[in-house]
Structure 1
Amino acid sequence: MKIPQSVRELIEQGPLAHLITLNSKGSPQVTLIWVGIENDEFVIGHLAEHQKIKNIRRDPRVALSMLGDKTNAQGMREY
C-alpha cells in the first residue's frame, strides 16, 4: 500500500495513533501509540512485549487511526 502524502505530512507533526489489533478470540484490542514512517512502512514505538505485539505476531491484520488537525466543511476534525 502506498502511504498518501497527506498521511505522511500528518505523521511528521507527531500525532498519537490508535492501533487496533485482534485478540486470540477475535475481540479488538486498542492501544494508543507513537507512530512514524521509515521507508514505506509504518513504525510504532513500544517499550516491551505487550499484548499488541503478541497479537500482531499471531495475526498481522491491524487498523491504525489518527486524528488530524484540520476540520472538514461540517466542522468535524478529520481523521
Structure 2
Amino acid sequence: MVPTLAGMTNLVLPESTHRLFDRALNVVFITVDPDGSPQASLMWVSRDGDELVFGVESSRRKVRNLRRDPRVTLVIEDEEDSPVGLRQHLVVRGTVRFEGPGIAQEFAALMDRQARRYYGTDYPHANRDSDTTLIGRITPTRIGGIGPWAG
C-alpha cells in the first residue's frame, strides 16, 4: 500500500487479479449520479501496472459523474467458482483521472488492444479517431469480492 496526498491508500493489484484483465470479461462500472443514486454500465477495462484504464467519449454520463465525483466501483465476474461453490468476483473501488481530449491516437491504440481481446480484431467503431475521446485511469483504493484477492 502506498499513502496518497488525500489520505487514501493506493493498492497494488494482487497478481491473482491480473488474469481477469487478460480475458474478455465485461466490467460493471458504477459511478454516482448528482442525486446520489448509482449509475451503472458495462465497460471494457484493462490493467496498466497497478492502474486500470478505459476509453470513453467525453460526452458520456459517467464522465460527467466522474468529473464531479471521481469515485468509481468496478465489479468483474470471474469464470471460476470459489472453493465453496460461489462465483468468484472482483470488486475494485478507486478514483479516476482523465487524459484528453485530443488524444485520438492514444485512444485508438488502447481501444485496439481491448477490441482484440473482446472481438479478435482492431476497434471498429466510428469514434476511433475522435478528438472528443478520453482515457480514464483508475487508481484502486480498495479491493474485495470473492476470490484469492479478497484474502
Same-fold call, TM cutoff 0.5: yes
Q: Does 1:64 align with 2:49?
A: no
2:84 to 71, 74, 77: 74
1:10 paired residue number: 20
Gaps of 5+ in 2: 1-10, 90-151
Gaps of 5+ in 1: none
Identity of aligned residues (%): 34
Q: Distance in 1 between matches of 2:41 and 2:54?
A: 11
Please show how residues 27-42 of structure 1 align to structure 2 within 5 Å.
27-42=37-52
RMSD, aligned α-carbons = 1.4
Paired AA for residue 62 in structure 1? V
User: Runs (4+) of structure 1 moved beyond 6 Å?
Assistant: none
TM-score norm. by structure 2 comes to: 0.49
Greater C-alpha radius of gyration: 2
CA contact (8 A) 1:16 1:66 kept: yes
Q: How many residues align?
A: 79
The CA deviation at 1:6 is 1.5
More strand by share: 2
CA contact (8 A) 1:69 1:78 kept: yes
More helix by share: 2
Q: Distance in 2 between matches of 1:14 and 1:47?
A: 21
TM-score norm. by structure 1 comes to: 0.88
SS in 1 for 2:64: helix
Please show how residues 16-55 of structure 1 align to structure 2 within 5 Å.
16-55=26-65
